[in-house]
């Protein structure tokens, strides 16, 4: 599993480096032109970077290295787990960037910060995990569109519910955080279970 994960992390780094450099260059240029740092501008480009990175890394993998690793002492289970751990690492790192942007943003964005931490981050991971297992079965890059639609759908539905009942729901933060942890664990487990199943079917075929 370590060999698969190391190889995937290396490829992910090669994919991420040009995009991160491009985003940083845009933010630096914006700072030079405006003479100040814009949190909103940072959030906009951070979201673009996050979505692009996740889709490129999670759904750009065509599992061409499957047969290579199957000739080594690597099981389908370990191969599948390595792929999902890679996605988890990318998800955590990109979510951290987004959270930093929200934390440093003006006070009026605190509602969005609370909403993201309490529930949307879990639904975001659920969307990524579900899209990944669909991608594992069909190997279609258009799955990134499904991921985008799920993010927008969950964000709109639960965002509206949360914002309209904010004063009441904020008192249930521990419950939301606990529920979010459960959602993330279940998402990871289901992704691993079905991705492994689909990869085993591909190996047989």
* pLDDT for 170: 78
Could you report the per-residue pLDDT of 157-190, keeping only the tens digit for each? Answer: 888 888 888 778 778 888 888 999 999 999 999 9
Could you report the per-residue pLDDT of 85-127, keeping only the tens digit for each? Answer: 988 998 998 888 888 777 776 655 667 777 888 888 999 999 9
pTM of the model: 0.81
Could you report the per-residue pLDDT of 66-95, keeping only the tens digit for each? Answer: 666 555 656 788 888 888 998 899 899 888
**How far apart, in whole angstroms, are the C-alpha atoms of residue 196 and residue 188?**
12
Which residue in this structure is represented by tokens 């845009």?
Answer: 26
Please tell me what DSSP assigns to residue 74: -
User: Residues with Cβ < 8 Å from 165, sequence gap 6 or more?
Assistant: none
* pLDDT for 116: 81
């Amino acid at each position: 599993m370590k060999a698969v994960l190391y190889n995937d992390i290396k490829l992910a780094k090669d994919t991420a480096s040009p995009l991160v450099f491009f985003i940083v260059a845009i933010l630096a240029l914006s700072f030079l032109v405006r003479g100040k740092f814009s949190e909103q501008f940072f959030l906009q480009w951070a979201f673009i970077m996050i979505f692009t990175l996740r889709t490129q890394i999670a759904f750009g993998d065509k599992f061409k290295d499957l047969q290579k690793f199957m000739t080594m002492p690597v099981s389908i289970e370990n191969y599948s787990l390595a792929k999902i751990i890679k996605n988890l690492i990318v998800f955590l790192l990109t979510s951290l960037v987004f959270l930093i942007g929200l934390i440093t943003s003006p006070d009026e964005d605190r509602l969005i910060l609370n909403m993201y931490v309490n529930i949307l981050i879990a639904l975001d991971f659920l969307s990524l995990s579900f899209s990944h297992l669909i991608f594992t079965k069909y190997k279609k890059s258009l799955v990134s569109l499904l991921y985008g639609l799920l993010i927008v759908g969950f964000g709109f539905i639960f965002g509206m519910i949360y914002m309209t009942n904010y004063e009441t729901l904020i008192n249930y933060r521990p419950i939301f955080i606990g529920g979010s942890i459960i959602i993330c664990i279940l998402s990871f487990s289901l992704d691993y279970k079905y991705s492994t199943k689909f990869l085993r079917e591909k190996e047989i075929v």
